[in-house]
Amino acid sequence: MPKTLSLFCMVCFAFLNCKEKPSSSLEEPPVLTKQLTNKTLIDLSHEYSKETVYWVTAKEFELDTVFAGDTDKGFYYSANNFATAEHGGTHIDAPIHFSKTGQTVEQIPLDNLVGSAIKIDVSHNAKNNPDYLITVADLTQWETQSGHQIPEGSIVLLQTGFAKYYPNKEKYLGTTERGDHAIALLHFPGLSPEAAQWLVDNRNIKAIGIDTPSIDYGQSQLFKSHVILLSKNIPAFENLTNLDKLPSENFEVIALPMKIKGGTGAPLRIIALLDN
């Protein structure tokens, strides 16, 4: 059974199971809870704060306190307002970001955001080369090592090792400067357009993610990998972290962006589920 389906069944069964039994805190936990206790959850999202790394032309994260303190009615209360660009921190690129007819954030099917995933580790290649471009050979090497093709419907995560520099902008982005002129100063690894095209032509993946600010490398001027992938309604997850804690396959990903109607991107909470 495909992993997505098994997860779905798990949820259905848990729901049915809950309905059959009268609820009591003394009873066994519902099936879903039991199943999840057999999984290790890994957080692949960075926090949103003043430190959050944004594209050099994007508005950075703002958090303003509305109120925080004891009220005259005797209870504590706190609330904030926040503001953010779509493309900053751990976020999703919706297909419309580089494709006029592509899906907006709320139109991305949940099936593209949840399911079996693989990880391709190129950190040894990118270690001393911030302009490293992930090649077709990196993808086929994963297939050789695993003994099979990238499975149908996979979510593909690319580990360059750059998350360890986050949020140091000098090391992670290549510059601390901001504004249009800073775009030329960006240096971080990405997926080569040839490898993006190879994935689209030869494999059937449903989403892609990377632990750098962009699926195209820092020195890209035409953002071809974005165009190639997003034109096929393959969303991209950017600024991921903790990929070093994942195996190369046999895990699942749940990636849920803020559901912004008409959004070209959105803050993303993404986790991985590993079998214990």
Q: Which residues here bind Zn ion, judged by CB under 5 A?
A: 87, 93, 238, 265
Q: Cα(14)–Cα(4) distance, rounded to whole angstroms?
A: 15
- Cβ proximity to Zn ion: between 151 and 267 the closer is 267
**Closest distance of CB 221 from Zn ion, Å:** 16
- Cβ proximity to Zn ion: between 199 and 236 the closer is 236
**Closest distance of CB 67 from Zn ion, Å:** 33
Are 172 and 130 contacting, i.e. CB atoms less than 8 angstroms apart?
A: no
Closest residue to Zn ion using C-beta atoms:
87
**Closest distance of CB 60 from Zn ion, Å:** 14
- Cβ proximity to Zn ion: between 87 and 169 the closer is 87
Q: What's the CA dihedral at 230, 235, 241, 246 to 10 degrees?
A: -110
Q: Cα(135)–Cα(139) distance, rounded to whole angstroms?
A: 7
Residues 6+ apart with CB under 8 A from 1: 9
- Cβ proximity to Zn ion: between 3 and 187 the closer is 187
**Closest distance of CB 21 from Zn ion, Å:** 45
- Cβ proximity to Zn ion: between 159 and 225 the closer is 225
- Nearest alpha carbon to residue 271 among 256, 258, 254, 246: 254
**Closest distance of CB 93 from Zn ion, Å:** 4
- Cβ proximity to Zn ion: between 151 and 174 the closer is 174
**Closest distance of CB 244 from Zn ion, Å:** 22
- Cβ proximity to Zn ion: between 209 and 265 the closer is 265
**Closest distance of CB 57 from Zn ion, Å:** 12
